Structure 1
């Protein structure tokens, strides 16, 4: 257990009705009691709240309520107090100053949660889930983070790791009887287990596409020729005049990015410069940026109309930028002005792109707001299509994803070792690595550099 006592503001900085300061450590109650005028907190029952005043000598700083929590039934498993005060930043600073003079020190970012982890209250994936809950911007990301906080991913991994550990123990035992050439670990049963672990790991790895989309939003690049209606579409989606709309070609020189939540999922729309050959230096930079956004996007909205394009032009551009992981939505804009020529245009375009998967064609009018709901449905369908219905645990954390990839690679190496009848010592070596990578997720195997990187991203007071 930590020897020092820490304190920090737990609520957001700024003026509010109330603020809360947290104190945790072996002297948390004594430190708080030294500057509290009211009940003797050192005789208080755990999980009780007490009215009084925070004082600095003879000076009363504020009227407060102090909650007392006795170890080990606290977030950090240490003695803790929470001071609820009137939400003035000046008062918060004065209280923290008094606490530090009476034996506490200011907490570092994430130090409360790190203590909860180090003291066995939560595992590492649960600690990261706390940060994800705080940062959640929509219902879907909140639910995923809450499932992780309740131990979702750890439960999935621990069962697999426990079974693999049993086999590893048997293989290690064989090393002690190497001269007698005996097998304690049934290689057929081990291979079946490895197949099961590989399938589960693969499923978790694949869930990251959906989890990452929910957590960080989906990047959507709006592309097309100048005056195709890109800025009008962005304004229509946002229901505000965010981008300048003009009949003058090349109005948009830089990218404009805005986030729109559609049914609980964040989409990061990027309005780009019109794609064309140009001698204008500034516009050319905008066109280059548009190509960069296409390369980073998960969804491409390509606007066109039959008055300023040909099916061959559109198809050639899409084939140039197409990749398997890119969802392309072709938007035949200005449908209110369209004619039979437009229908023939779309038929020819479909024929030219029939070899490409993940390409959808919709007819819209950005100006008249026609087809916008169908477009939103297409965006949501893309995100839902990433979700694997049979997988209840969704990976949203980049560190977890990388650890799972290493685990998957390691398990496959173990399978190769079994199929090729590797020497027991080499098999044991590969098994140890597989166990270590699986243990990285929950924090059973980690190092100070990784922990420092994770908890440094937390806010002070959490």
Structure 2
């Protein structure tokens, strides 16, 4: 999976631009580049210090390919831990390919996806969880996902795991040592101190496991389904939230036949809004499929916005029907937050609005109701504030470690299971040799997270999802 050959790849997005950056990494990276680089001031590349920049030309024999800025990073003080050259050239796709092909003909090979970061991991510059965070930083598209990824890339999560693993390994060594003196009945590992450690490990693991529920939605965006009967203003609300005409708006009922999704950031938190087909009885086959998808999206969403037309709520029967529909969703999905949005309230007079609020209070619907006008935008900011209040961002604000990676989550669950086995063994008075078996398994799952324990299959699966230049 790993070779000592120098690798090369485009580090900036493909396509034409003002500049492009081509990255080369390997023991021979500087030597290979020196054969095709001519400094403007005649400086010799092999004699340059690390972390310096030179102006010059990339040449193929007597042919000048481009004037470039060339950055030198000498291992081990580089991203990969190897010698690295970064060539900042003009952004012509022709120039990019000419330079890359030149080096491929002269000692380099094309980098595999994520191979630069893989080399950083294999050379001990970062651990595995930090390497995965690099991809998350690149993919982050809102402040929350960026903050979580940066914290993990800087080692916040892995440091916590490493400290626990080191303490557990120390006690494991003492317990293993006791086995060598089993006949003398000596105790090297203080059982009270060991119990304190096991308690602390369980608390940390449970906190990290619980954080995944928040971290996963913050990373991927909180899914919010906009549901309701046809023509209540669902598509208008989506357009108002996005501040663009994303969905078709029409007075004809059943215009939205399929779900429409788009994402916005509210105070740094990503929300993925889903405009769904209106819920009603229909004989239209296509519309019926759309309505079926609506219920699928309700199931997937974390928050449900139940939109109603204020003019249709004047009758007591309409309010009773609304209460039944909302209760139906809450009974089916008790963990979901459901907000009632009374739309088009700008068309009502003050007396009608007051009367409607009184009725909603009587039916215990007031606390989860927001009055809005999707057409004018009135009340939309109140909706955004309410959405933010539904999301537990306390851990994010306090800069606590938040787990977003499902691989880490699964390893934490397995580690907790083994630690609980150790606890059960201690409660039952098991001997050190039996406790040692479960401790070793817990250490194994800790090591899986940071990469102390890894396999080629695992590494291949992780780094295959990276972009080639990273």
Whether these two folds match at TM > 0.5 is yes
Is contact 1:334–1:366 with CA below 8 Å preserved after alignment? yes
Query: How big is the shift at 1:307?
Result: 4.2
Contact 1:129 / 1:149 at 8 angstroms: preserved in 2? yes
Counterpart of 2:357 in structure 1 is 343
2:337 aligns with 327
In 2, are the aligned partners of 1:203 and 1:391 still within 8 Å (CA)?
A: no
Instruction: Give the Cα–Cα distance (whole angstroms) in 1 for the partners of residues 244 and 388 of structure 2.
Output: 21
Please tell me whether residue 382 in structure 1 is matched to residue 412 in structure 2. no
The aligned counterpart of 2:219 is 215
- Say yes or no: does 1:43 pair with 2:51: no
Superposed displacement of residue 272, structure 1: 0.2
Asked if 1:185 corresponds to 2:189, the answer is yes
Q: Secondary structure at the match of 2:168?
A: helix
Distance 1:407 1:134 in 2: 29
Query: Residue 3 of structure 1 corresponds to which residue in structure 2?
Result: 4
Which residue of 103, 119, 122 corresponds with 1:118? 122
Partner of 1:18, secondary structure, is: strand
Output the CA distance in 1 between the equivalents of 2:292 and 2:362.
Answer: 29
8 Å CA contact 1:227–1:249 kept in 2: the answer is: yes
Deviation (angstroms), 1:129:
1.5
8 Å CA contact 2:310–2:345 kept in 1: the answer is no
**Deviations, residues 215-258 of structure 1 (Å, cap 9, x unaligned):** 21110000111112111111111122221222222111100111
Match for residue 180 of structure 2 among 165, 176, 180? 176
* 3-state SS of 1:12 partner: coil
CA distance in 1, matches of 2:465, 2:18: 27
Deviation digits for residues 163-209 of structure 1 (CA, Å, limit 9, x no counterpart): 11111112212222233444332333222211111111111122222
1:30 aligns with 2:31: yes
How far does residue 343 in structure 1 lie from its aligned partner after superposition?
2.4
- SS of the equivalent of 1:325 reads coil
Unaligned stretches of 5+ residues in structure 2: none
Q: Within 5 A, what are the aligned runs for 1:7-406? A: 7-38=8-39, 39-305=43-309, 307-308=311-312, 310-322=318-330, 323-338=333-348, 339=352, 340-350=354-364, 360-385=368-393, 387=395, 392-406=400-414
Cα distance in 2 for residues equivalent to 1:10 and 1:143: 23
Question: Partners of 2:396 and 2:146 in 1: how far apart?
Answer: 18
Separation (CA, whole Å) in 2 of partners of 1:144 and 1:390? 12
C-alpha distance in 2, partners of 1:343/1:305?
A: 14
Say whether the 8 Å CA contact 1:306–1:345 is kept in structure 2.
no
CA RMSD in angstroms comes to 2.0
**Most deviating of 265-274 and 436-445:** 436-445
Q: Report deviation, 1:312.
A: 3.1
Instruction: Using the TM superposition, give the Cα deviation of residue 344 of structure 1 relative to its aligned residue in structure 2, in angstroms.
Output: 4.2
Cα drift, residue 8 of structure 1: 0.8
More displaced 10-residue stretch of structure 1: 338-347 or 117-126: 338-347
Q: Which residue of 2 aligns with 1:411?
A: 419
Q: 1 CA distance for matches of 2:196 and 2:48?
A: 56
3-state DSSP class of the match of 2:373? Answer: coil
Distance 1:272 1:394, change over 3 A: same
Q: Structure 1's 385 and 131: CA in aligned 2 closer, same or farther, altered over 3 A? A: closer
Matches of 1:365 and 1:348, distance apart in 2: 23
Measure, in 2, the Cα distance between the counterparts of 1:109 and 1:89: 20
Change (3 A) 1:319 1:18: same
Decide whether aligned partners of structure 1 residues 316 and 412 sit closer, same or farther in structure 2, where only a CA change above 3 A counts: farther
Structure 1: give runs of 5+ residues left out of the alignment: 354-358
**Equivalence for 1:356:** none
Secondary structure of residue in 2 paired with 1:350: coil
CA offset digits 1:307-354 (Å, max 9, x no partner): 446233223333333234311111122222442552244124426x9x
Aligned length: 456
Q: Provide closer, same or farther for how the CA distance between residues 394 and 138 of structure 1 changes in structure 2, counting only shifts above 3 A.
A: same
